[in-house]
Amino acid sequence: MPTLDAIYAYPLKSARAMALSSANLDTQGLPQDRRLVIVNQRGVVVTQKDCPALTKIQADLVDEHITLTAAGMPVYQQSIQSAGNAIKGQFYFDQVTFVDQGDAAARWLSNALDQPVRLATSLNAFERRPPSEYQIGRFDASQQRFAYMGHVLITNTASLADLNSKLADPLPMDRFRPNLVINTDLPFVEDQWLRFRIGAAEFEGTMTCERCIMTTQDQSTGQRGKEPLRTLSKYRKFSGGMLSGIVFGIYANVVVPGTINVGDSLELLEQGAVAGATQQQSTLPTP
């Protein structure tokens, strides 16, 4: 039976992962996940796509208290401010009102990234309005955290082993920045998880995850290469339709909140291809 191998949250979007042994999931996923973002002078959220140096920042969040560390930098700590200076800005396709986290945080991050930036959280829930071609399957239109297309991103160990068998230099799972890693024997079997339970929580698989240039970036050094996208494109690329792209892992939404622990079993409640899975070139495995 598949089991939960690892849990990761990313308190600061695009910074390094925070490993957890257990988590109390709510209606938006992991409470520690993507609570804060970095915004540039135009109010646009900054990610590793345009700022590889974000790989040097470790963010940890405990009881609303954020700790930021980076090589050569003093440790920075503060509580998340839920009220304060409001900033109008942009998160992917959406216009969002951010709460600025103050000048001290801005100075620390600007020095770490060598560019003027601010640290921010969301003022309130905002409505996601992605282009119509991305509105496939169940889409939760309202959120307050800065996840991209679903509450959690799920990968599995067999998928990574399958990929690494095709690579000259094996890659770690952190290239794919998952929230939940499932230990299974079947690569890409998660493409068929429509409804499943882990611990006390239940999930609905919504769509496959289209992978971007961030997967080619070493999460320790920020250095970029060509893998894994070059190899994945040969057998994990959509053949057409509204979501053409290279996929690895799935997005899932929490439908029943609850506690999950590393080592918990995954129970499949409903099988069937998640949105996008039927367009892949590869043959889906049978659970």
CATH number at residue 167: 2.40.33.20
Residue 258: pLDDT band (50, 70, 90) is very high
Between 132 and 99, residue with greater pLDDT: 99
State which residues form the domain around 206: 3-29+132-279
Q: What is the mean pLDDT of residues 114-122?
A: 96
Number of domains present in the structure of the chain: 2
Residue among 141, 144, 122, 143 nearest 130 (CA): 141
Q: Which two tokens mark 121?
A: 């959280």
The answer as to whether 217 is a domain residue is: yes
pLDDT of 62 over the 90 cut:
yes
Decide if pLDDT at 37 tops 70.
yes
Rounded to whole angstroms, how far apart are CA atoms 18 and 66? 11
Query: Cα separations (Å) of 257 from 84, 153, 158, 254, 271?
Result: 30, 16, 27, 6, 20
On whether residue 285 sits in a domain, the answer given is no
Q: Give the pLDDT mean for 223-251.
A: 85
Do 101 and 164 have their domain in common?
Answer: no
Is pLDDT at 26 greater than 60 in this prediction? yes
The answer to the question of residue 249 being in a domain is yes
Quick check: is 286 in a domain?
no
Is 287 part of a structural domain of the chain? no
The answer on pLDDT for 59 being more than 90 is yes
Q: Which of 77, 108, 125 is the last residue of a domain?
A: 125
Asked whether residue 284 is assigned to any structural domain, the reply reads: no
What average pLDDT does the segment 141-154 reach? 84
Strand partners, 45: 39
Same domain, 211 and 231: yes
pTM of the model: 0.93
Model confidence over 70-99: pLDDT tens digits?
Answer: 999 999 999 999 988 998 998 887 888 999
